[in-house]
Amino acid sequence: MNGKRERVEWLKCSEDPAYFADSYVWIFNATQRSWIKLILWAAQLSVLDQLVSGRNFLVLKARQLGLTWLCLAYALWLMLFRPAAVVLLFSKRENEAVELLDRLKDMYGHLPEWMQCRAVLKANTTEFELSNGSRAMCFPTTGGRSYTGTFVLGDEADYIPDLNEFLNAVKPTVDAGGQLVLITTSDKTRPQSTFKSLFRAAWQGINEYVAVFLPWHARPDRTRAWYERIARDMRAQDGSDDNLHQEYPETPEQALAAKTLDKRIPPQWVANVTHLACALPFEQLPDDVPQLHGLRLYRRPETGRSYVVGVDPAEGNPTSDDSALCVLDVDTGEQMAVLSAKMQPGFLAGCAAHLAVFYNDAGILVERNNHGHSVLLWLADNGVEVDGRGRFAYVLNGLDGKPGWVSSTKGKALMYGDLTDGCRDRQLSLHDQQTVEQVTSIEGSSLRAPQGMHDDAADAVALAWVAVQRCDVGGGGTSSAAGDAPLDPIEEADNDGW
């Protein structure tokens, strides 16, 4: 190639990273065990076009789609055509991070000589520096805090155990104008991981990241017959689609869902009743709704309709679980509001009472556990001031005829049995992301969330739904405006059986 042609090609590459990657980048093919020319697929080209925008990306993908190679090609383009670029490469372990840098160095080595810089100033196991001022460095996810990056790549981010700490350390290094990209397959053992939480929020457009999902068929040589063969082999391992949806998901929901084995409610049944919605902003909340941290109000009450409130109390200290409540429409099973935060039992009781009155004097079913006794006592002793009038909250009785729902093995089994049936028969409509995530995670053996995860929002919706199924919750609306007789308030606490 003559000098004039080289200058033209250099200019074309500098203006278009896709042209550079498709024309000059080579990658190592592990199957063929040789270096081959990178030929961009449509899905890869789409991702590369988005990378040029300079945003921060979360990429959730199926296996073997060449996204790590693609991101390294983009990093190499920055180093060559946007000096002095600083590329920071991270992986969970140091040897994996070193491998990322080795790939980048080898990709550079396969470029035409006329495209390379005048000199490589440094090329060791952790750093690669060019004479134009660009350099790339690799770190385990515990390092790299002191550098300011033009482009930061985190590989297999869902498998990084302390991803939140990593982001807190690294993200400030790109906030001055750099770019952060996290790419990963799904780790099904951690349905509530930091990456999944960030991805779900980004998918809904409620954080600063851009969510990108690439299914198994993003690779053009994969056919439906290929997929069915892979699916058959993976199902033979344990009789479930968990491994298939981890390695070769077809939808984001498959990738994000918890393992179905030993789950009380199959994730697909939960997905069938999931209709995520945005909660009303605080400034749009009605005046008679308390401005509470953790309150998510999705639907206002309608005159003539009946509602029920499920309440799962906790201790309320900084190390305890959250307390939670959930409001459901009795007739449609629609989730109206959720409150989840660390609250003392008395404060939680007051919140439940206010929301119950707001929702047409809804009946309240409290889980009768240690802290539930305190909630029930408060509700028995205190009225709620609304429009200058003192009104009592109406507490529902459990199957034993006493206030609250007994928190026993039988009580828990009935709660989640009814919730399972409701999801199966599509009798509910869940708007709240936290509720959906927790309901999906409940284990069949313990009826609790996996260790280290929360189930307060799941318990609250289960309590509300078992109240709809098994308690006298009234009908047609219980507010005085509706003209129907409300349930009797608790006059005094009956400690027998507590």
Assigned CATH topology for domain 282-482:
Nucleotidyltransferase; domain 5 (3.30.420)
pLDDT confidence of residue 151: 95
Q: Where are the alpha helices (DSSP H) in 187-291?
A: 194-203, 224-238, 242-247, 252-256, 267-272
Helix%, strand%, coil% for the chain, nearest 5: 40, 20, 40
296: CB partners within 8 A, 6+ apart: 279, 337, 338, 339, 340, 432
Instruction: Please give the DSSP secondary-structure letter assigned to residue 142.
Output: T
Which residue is listed with tokens 């529902």? 396
What are 93-105's pLDDT values in tens digits? 999 999 999 999 9
Residue 474: CB atoms within 10 A of its CB come to 22
Assigned CATH topology for domain 3-260:
Rossmann fold (3.40.50)
Which residue is listed with tokens 């068929």? 217
Q: Locate CATH 3.40.50.300 in the chain.
A: 3-260
Give the tokens for residue 447. 């009826």
13: CB partners within 8 A, 6+ apart: 19, 20, 23, 24, 77, 80, 81, 115
Contact 249, 215 (CB under 8 A): yes
Which residue is listed with tokens 């490589």? 120
> Could you give the CA distance from residue 268 to residue 467 in angstroms, rounded to a whole number?
24
SS3 160: coil
pLDDT confidence of residue 284: 76
pTM of the model: 0.66
The pair phi, psi for residue 325, each rounded to 5°, is: -140, 155
Q: How far is CA 74 from the centre of its chain?
A: 27
> Could you give the CA distance from residue 201 to residue 350 in angstroms, rounded to a whole number?
30
Amino acid at 95: N
> Could you give the CA distance from residue 36 to residue 234 in angstroms, rounded to a whole number?
30
Q: Which residues pair with 329 in a beta bridge?
A: 307
Which residue is listed with tokens 């605080």? 282
Alpha-carbon distances, residue 367 vs 54, 55, 386, 402, 412 (angstroms): 49, 45, 25, 12, 10
Q: Locate CATH 3.30.420.240 in the chain.
A: 282-482
pLDDT confidence of residue 58: 97
- Residues of the chain with pLDDT below 50 are 386-387, 475-498
pLDDT confidence of residue 114: 95
Give the tokens for residue 101. 């840098």
